[in-house]
A and B are shown apart, each in its own frame.
Chain A
Amino acid sequence: MKPLTTIDGNEAAARVAHRLSEVIAIYPITPSTAMGELADAWSAAGQPNLWGTVPEVMEMQSEAGAAGALHGALMAGALCTTFTASQGLLLMLPNMFKIAGELTPTVFHVAARTVATHALSIFGDHSDVMAVRSSGFAMLSSSSVQEAQDLALISHRATLESRVPFLHFFDGFRTSHEVNKIVPLDDETVRAMVPDKLVSAHRMRALSPDHPTLRGSAQNPDVFFQAREAANVYHAAVPAIVSATMDKFAQLTGRRYRIFDYTGHPEADRVVVLMGSGVGAAQEAVDALLARGERVGLLNVHLFRPFDAAAFVAALPHTARRIAVLDRSKEPGATGEPLFQDVVVALASRPEPPTVIGGRYGLASKEFTPAMAAAVFQELTATAPRREFTVGIVDDVTHLSLDVDDAFTTEPADVATAIFYGLGSDGTVGATRNTVKIIGEHTDLFAQGYFVLDSKKSGSVTTSHLRFGPRPIQSTYLVLRAGFIACHQFGFLDKVDVLGRAADGATFLLNSPFGPDEVWARIPVEVQRQVRDKHLRFYVIDATRVARDAGLPGRVNTVLQACYFALAGVLPQDQAITAIKAAIERTYSKRGSAILDRNYAAVDLALAELHEVAVPAAVNGSVHLRPVVPAEAPPFVQRVTAEMLAGRGDFLPVSALPVDGAFPLGTSRWERRDIAEELPQWDPTICIDCAKCTLVCPHAAIRMKVFSPDLLAGAPAGFLSKEWKSKEQPGMVMAIQIAPDDCNGCGTCADYCPAHSKQAAKHKSIDMAAKDGRIEMERANWEFFKSLPEFDRTQVKVATIKGSQMLQPLFEFSGACKGCGETPYLKLLTQMYGDRIMVANATGCSSIFGGNLPTTPWATNGDGRGPAWANSLFEDNAEFGLGMRLALDNFAATAKRLLGELEPEIGAGLVAAIAAADQSSEAGIAAQRQRVEVLRAKLGGISSPTAARLAELADHLVRKSVWIVGGDGWAYDIGFGGLDHVLASGRDVKILVLDTEVYSNTGGQASKSTPRGAIAKFAAAGKRTGKKDLGLIASAYGNVYVAQIALGADNAQAVKAFAEAESHTGPSLIIAYATCIAHGIDMATGMSHMKEAVDSGYWPLYRFDPRSEIEGKHPLALDSKAPTIPLREFAAKEGRYTLLARSKPELAARLMTIAQADVDERRRLYEQMAGVERHAPDDTIISNGHADALAKELEEEMP
């Protein structure tokens, strides 16, 4: 038997693709990103393809770009591949039609993911691949990790032989991210499958000036149709070619696939047809039903396009009278889903065609279990089975869903199962991945690992599902009943139903600060009851302390992994310890002996600290689960959000959810996360009222209010306040208060606080301190703080640091990373203008922490006003925001016109006041809102269609602004074309680029904003080219307000830039420096680190204001001084530079020299530009869509 390997689906496919390609064009998109990253890493390491050359891997600006580059490389005769999913695949579609139409062989590997509709989802289903089925690509489906590898090879061979391009797909996450033990393909097999003559034939067809041909002609009605039909024979040949390729593959490897793989009873009366990972679960159901004597079968569709009807019919037992076709996609309004339709058509030609019903399952990685498959077989026994159904949800609206018998399980007794609950970055997932590999590689057992990660980027719960057993594991669903449950964080016990999936008699391992004698009284009564009722064997270890003692604070993974092996008994203990250490060596050896030694120590220390708990006979104690949300939460939050928070979202019925994706704002405030280890502690005696703690807080968890001292009457005992020293608001007090359950303890506020104690320099007005003993007091304080009134906006200087911080943030408690550098800008924006903005948010980190359920941070104020937020796509955000502006402008113009028409009824005074209102200040806005209220009252008394229309639009008489928000991946790369067009439109939109200089959301891939010399994914050897100067490009338009800011470096400049951008009536662009975990810095210092970014000249601060230009002044104000420290000093504090400096010192030094020259040259250029006078015409009135009004005015002025 060949040595087996334990890898995930993405790697399985990429290993084949990299060996068989010369050009690989890529772009990151979940869940396919890892395939591109691996290919890039292999090429960067000089790993050659099968023919001895290293594939060219090129990251493009979008998937559309990747497809275009690929198309060109194919034309030139190269062997090409790409990896994508979802919207990315759709962006490739135009080129896919071309590539297929030109009969060009290539393989696109797709980790199939749902296409964003009412919401974005990163999870797996077939809606993306189904959307491209008319492209002419052949479509081959893999249902497991083994198949993701094997069918990848079959695709690469079959495309060369057939000339038809292939889309090879497997289910996102379930297959792409599942780790399984598979038989790898050696180079000889791959070579034998891809003969050189097929490659030569492809080369011979290439474009070449030595034997030129012309491609891409434009054809007229006379010949296009015939030419289109001319390729039929090639498509028709595909099924036979794939079949033959599968036969050849079987000869070489012994693994047999068929284009339609039937398993089950040879004379089955009921058959389920499906493709993808659901096959694994369905297969288990079939096996169980067969064992009961039922005549059932399963048909796994591998080759979906071209659909070979005859082969399909032949594969199906002739006895099958009832067939259910399961589609993992939805085509609203169709007569049935795509696979269903094909099956119906294929069977229509049979005499007495069987009954065919169609159902949807598993959208966006919804679990699909053997019980659900059994429910489908059950439906087929009904007298009149439902022609259309769903399975896996409860549909109480259209009643399409099947009932599922949860008692139907198929997990065999000889398969061991375990679930590990961990905290993001505590190493649990990595350790479980290692455990799967250890079992896979050190035993004859087969193993599978699958990982469910949270949608929050900090303080998230990770759940790792492990199975191992004597046969290959095809259970493509979460572990339902675990024989081993490990809870790696004690704090989860009152938040997550850790023992819900524990099997009777299971082992329960808890990381507990309390020893075996003390722990029982410390765990919730509800958990005690589960331990007793399920007869669990209960073990504790203080892994947190052991990890700390071993020198790895916070990293409990190694300790708990050792305990797992000790308790699970899968390997003899000595052997297990040796294997764990070997895995440690493999993972950490590159990082040095200190890390190795500490991990080894963690293993060695672990077992002595592992204790069994003698489970008392009685369930008793004072600890209980906390309610998921407080009782005062609104009904929707109680009914829907709370269920999602509790991990019961799967059980919410269809009726519980909005039909169009519209959700209420401000739900994050109801989630009690309580994830901080330390909380800020305010010392009012040394506070200097600067408000910087609240300004820089990434989570809006530290707040300031200024209020009348008499309101302190009802304050809780621990509530702190001090005199507010301000001439503008005399006689007031102020309080700095934390939201203890919402703070995640990042420490940014304490790091940035400038107020030191005179007696002990280490003590600041804000210190981080242990939360134990304080949290209840702070909860009471926070409740009181919330009850204090918000300051009257009209009495505050909004465009100042203190003023802005006296105002309520309408962006709070997001799930962003600890210390996120993006969120403080959004919070500041909402404090300044949140009650009147519409936000168009590009896909990326900000759309995820901004809009990922269960809870979202965009919030409303006491009047119910707040930012209206929406995310369209990644690539179109500028256009999306511009569209909002066009609508708003149109509404405002219409409202003004109607106002004029109704002047006799409304009164000239009010009409004139509304029309001429100055809305440039808070007072102006407030006054206009009051006028609109008066107007509404008057309109109520007028019964005319015009009045009704104006009443509908009256709100648009109050200024609203549109903020277009996104990251650098959007602004510099995929969305740049649109951004440029929107800047050129001259319209009144504000664009905020949260510039982290990488694709943060997908894991730090290089963008055109990535600076020279920094490493990033796809730039592992340091980015060779310099950062694109987006601000300079934008300023070239002349009428665009441009500011480059860094909040932590110059607070006042940042606030000023927001105010100027907001007040500019043309397009505004703010490029905001946002520190990110992908920079490799201590995130607590992110804001103070920005100072060094500016001091080194790395991030110059400036404002380019076209209004000065109109006045003939110098439009560019260079706000930062000439560099005072070398770039090297700034870079030395960032992992993205220092890792390269360690790894490749000479190269890093060379790049750093050039990067310093970049900085010097940019400074020189900006200094010159700051001295330049420009005289631009004032075109704002035209560019803002008022050209018609202007023309009319001019007409009237004409004599």
Chain B
Amino acid sequence: MSADLRTTYMGIELANPLVAAASPLTGTIDGLLALQDAGASAVVLQSLFEEQIKHHELQVDTILESFTESFSEARDFFPALDSYNTGPESYVRLVEQAKSVLEIPVIASLNGISRGGWTRYAHLIEEAGADALELNIYFVSTDPRVAAAEAEARYTDLVAEISASISIPLAVKIGPYFSSLANVAMRLTAAGAHGLVLFNRFLYPDISLHRMKVVPTLHLSSSEESLMPLRWIAILSGQLKVSLAASSGIQSANDVVKLLLAGADVTMMASALLRRGPKHMSQVIAGLGAWLDEHEYTSVRQMKGSMSQAASPEPGAFERANYMRTLVDFTVASPDPRHFYARRDPIPWD
């Protein structure tokens, strides 16, 4: 392999564009070392969930307080322990340990629920030595009285507040469900985000028919899902001065190549690594190198954004809705009809 794989993400020089996204693999030192060995150029640690911390604190408090001092023979029912580690200490320790054993940059990830929590934990993470911070914003707006602008302001206010309080690069991981995603991306950038991670994959509730209960689910992603970040990275990469990270559905070197062509600075992988193990990363990197060599690119920097909307010979293609593309394909490009009828979905206009 001869092509130069280096890339820059939020001002941080990386050996290649393959970054391990936040997942259970990046929650342990063993997992992180395996990812580094497999060639990951950076890691995003598993998220610190403020909600989880609060939940644990309340749980511990409830366990320790319930039934205390109500009966003559027992003041309480549990031995006093040195510490209950309910707070961010174990996460801070993870950041510190990751920094001490890894050579590649360490990006911490934070999912807050309260204003105070976001800034407090962002600060702790910076102090623990993280090279950058990714905000994993997961806000489901369920109140019909809250308008989109109000909901979006929560994102931008938060980013402004945190970016003012820390000095390490700040990335924001968002979902795709905004009425005007490009505008939101621009405002987040203006608020101080150095990078945008597109996109967050949400945990969806499911109904267990066996238990007749609502249960959380998270399915591992598949390649098709990478098409959504592909479109938006292609659209945004020429327009905003912000680092772009692709996340969701990246399985193979081909997926990576496409996203880099669309304009991603880095591509983040989780499901594929969970499915195939950390070593899969090295195969993808090799595949990327091979593709570059085969297509006579000398570097990732050279190819990056070369198929973005701005650079594309057919910019309208990124904006068209599905049926338009299909219509065009069907009427103009004259594809193999077998391909068309092989689709499982009903014909859109049928």
Contacts and interface: CB of A to CB of B under 8 A. Distances in A.
A1077 interface: yes
Given A592-B53, A1145-B85, A462 B78 contact: no
B72 A592 contact: no
Contacts of A425: 65-70
Nearest to A998: B77
A430 B67 CA distance: 12
Contacts of B66: 425, 1077
Contact of A455 (B72, B76, B85): B72
B63 to A, nearest CB: 4
A1017 B79 contact: yes
B209 to A, nearest CB: 12
B247 to A, nearest CB: 29
B80 interface: yes
A588 interface: yes
Contacts of B77: 1000, 1003-1004, 1077-1078, 1080
A594 B53 contact: yes
Size class of B's contact patch?
35 or more
Contact of B85 (A462, A761, A1143): A1143
A1001 B84 contact: no
B76 to A, nearest CB: 6
Contacts of A588: 61
Contacts of A1004: 74, 76-78
From B67, B76, B82, B83, name the one whose CB has the most chain A CB atoms within 10 angstroms: B67
A487 interface: no
A453 B65 contact: no
Interface stretch (A159-167, A1026-1034, A1134-1142): A1134-1142
B81 A1139 contact: yes
A contacts with B: majority SS: mixed
A555 interface: yes
A1080 B62 CA distance: 9
A462 B63 contact: no
A488 to B, nearest CB: 12
Contacts of B85: 1142-1143, 1145
Name B's interface SS.
loop
A1080 B78 contact: yes
Contacts of A591: 57, 60-61, 64, 84, 86
A84 to B, nearest CB: 14
Given A594-B53, A1003-B75, A1139-B63, A1020 B70 contact: no
B120 to A, nearest CB: 8
Contact of B83 (A458, A590, A1001, A1018): A590
B8 interface: no
A1071 interface: no
Interface string A28-59: 00110110010011001100000000000000
A793 to B, nearest CB: 36
B61 A1135 contact: no
B87 A1136 contact: no
Contacts of A122: 72-73
Interface in A424-446: 424-425, 427-430
Given A594-B53, A594-B54, A594-B58, A427 B74 contact: no
Interface string A1136-1171: 101110111100000000000000000000000000
B71 interface: yes
A295 interface: no
A66 interface: no
A460 B57 contact: no
B283 interface: no
Contact of B79 (A30, A44, A1142, A1144): A44
A817 B67 contact: yes
Contacts of A30: 72-73
A593 interface: yes
A1139 B64 CA distance: 10
Contacts of A34: 75
A756 interface: yes
Nearest to B55: A594
A460 B84 contact: no
A453 B60 contact: no
A536 to B, nearest CB: 27
B58 to A, nearest CB: 6
Nearest to A818: B67
B87 A1143 contact: no
Nearest to B90: A1145
B79 A1016 contact: yes
A555 B60 contact: no
Contact of B60 (A173, A458, A592): A592
A409 interface: no
Contacts of A427: 65, 68-69
A454 B71 contact: yes
B212 interface: yes
Contacts of B58: 594-595
A607 to B, nearest CB: 23
Contacts of A1143: 81-85
B56 interface: yes
A1016 B81 CA distance: 11
B74 A1003 contact: yes
Nearest to B213: A761
Given A429-B69, A590-B84, A1145-B90, A595 B61 contact: yes
Interface of B: 53-54, 56-61, 63-87, 90, 120, 212
Given A457-B67, A460-B71, 4 more contacts: A1002-B74, A1020-B80, A1142-B84, A1143-B84
Ordered nearest first, which 3 A-B pairs have the shortest CB separation? A424-B70, A1003-B74, A592-B57
11 contacts: A30-B73, A45-B82, A425-B70, A429-B70, A430-B69, A454-B70, A455-B71, A457-B71, A591-B64, A592-B53, A1143-B84
Interface of A: 30-31, 33-34, 37, 40-41, 44-45, 122, 173, 423-425, 427-430, 451, 453-458, 460, 462, 555, 588, 590-595, 756, 761, 817, 848, 1000-1004, 1015-1020, 1077-1078, 1080, 1135-1136, 1138-1140, 1142-1145
